[in-house]
Amino acid sequence: MGENENIDALKERFDYLKKRLLTLEWDKTHNQLNAGMEYKYEEFKKELAELESRFREPAREEEPSIENQVAEIAKDL
């Protein structure tokens, strides 16, 4: 898998998580979140937070890392 494919996969996962969390947030605020989905909701929040922190890590090398390239893409979202 090439670097661009990794970036695309991370961006797709980021977008997916944001969309799912919007739905789950609505369900939660309207007391419609299924008890079984509470676990998924928390897991999605953790994963999204991890991706966001990876996007914000400073570069440690001269060439931009995949994470930094994804961070640049995430800024436009």
Domain positions in the chain are 3-75
Please tell me the pTM assigned to this model: 0.64
Please determine, for residue 62, whether its predicted confidence score (pLDDT) is greater than 60. Answer: no
- pLDDT tens-digit readout, 2-54: 667 787 888 899 999 999 999 999 999 999 999 889 999 999 999 999 988 87
Whether the Cβ atoms of residue 14 and residue 74 lie closer than 8 Å to each other:
yes
Residue-level pLDDT at 42: 93
Report the C-alpha gap between 47 and 56 in whole angstroms. 14
Q: Greater confidence, 77 or 29?
A: 29
